[in-house]
Amino acid sequence: MTFDATFWVAVSFFIFFGTLIYFKIPQNVNKLLGKMIVDIKNEIAESEKLRTESKKLLDDAQHKLDSASSETKKILDQAKNDSEKLIIEMNDKFHKSAEIKKNLAQTKIGQMKEVAIKEIKDTSIKIAVDSVKKIITTSIDKSKLDNLFEKNLEETKSELKKINS
């Protein structure tokens, strides 16, 4: 019996598979593949867990960002309202201060006017008295002049007292 190459290829094929089975290579490959499958499943489960945690952290961060944004808006609105109130208050204080200064100035002007009028009256009276004295001294004799002067002096003093009171 002559064996051709196909026979020897078939024999070597069975020997090869027999050797593989004898050394439990398919079982080892199967265990190795099973282990890899389990490792991949664990990695997938871990990545799902990490994805869930990261989604939760992202949601928390977004919530915090939204609340911080709304809080910032509230603070800015409050600051705007406070500044408007402060501006109104300062404007009112300015107008009140200006009114007080105006009233003080008017009072001072009134007082100065009264003082000026009094000085003018005093000066006018003095000039009138001096003029009358000069006229009388030049036109009337000394005794009549002294009596007239005393009389007019008393009248002028009483009039001044009335005016000053």
3-39: per-residue pLDDT in tens? 789 998 999 999 998 888 888 888 888 999 999 999 9
Q: Tokens representing 164? A: 């000053």
Alpha carbon of 165 to those of 94, 107, 108, 113: distances in Å?
39, 20, 20, 17
Least confident span in 46-50, 115-119, 137-141, 157-161? 137-141
* Residue 130, CB-side half-sphere exposure with 13 Å CA sphere: 6
- Is 154 part of any domain? yes
Domain limits at 40? 7-164
> Does the residue 29 lie in any domain?
yes
> In the prediction, which pLDDT does 108 show?
95
107-122 exposure pattern, b = at least 16 Cβ within 10 A, e = fewer: eeeeeeeeeeeeeeee
Number of domains in the chain: 1
Higher per-residue pLDDT: 144 or 84: 84
Task: With respect to residue 137, please indicate whether it lies within any of the assigned structural domains.
Answer: yes
1 occurs within a structural domain: no
Whether 127 is covered by a domain: the verdict is yes
Q: Which of 8-17, 65-74, 77-86, 134-143 has the least mean pLDDT? A: 134-143
In a domain, 2, yes or no: no
5-8 LR contacts (CB < 8 Å, sep 24+): none
On whether residue 50 sits in a domain, the answer given is yes
Q: Is residue 80 part of a domain?
A: yes
Residue linked to tokens 């990695």? 43
- pLDDT for 130 equals 81
pTM (predicted TM-score): 0.42
Per residue in 88-138, pLDDT (tens digit) is: 999 999 999 999 999 999 999 999 999 988 888 888 888 888 887 777 667
Residues listed for the chain: 165
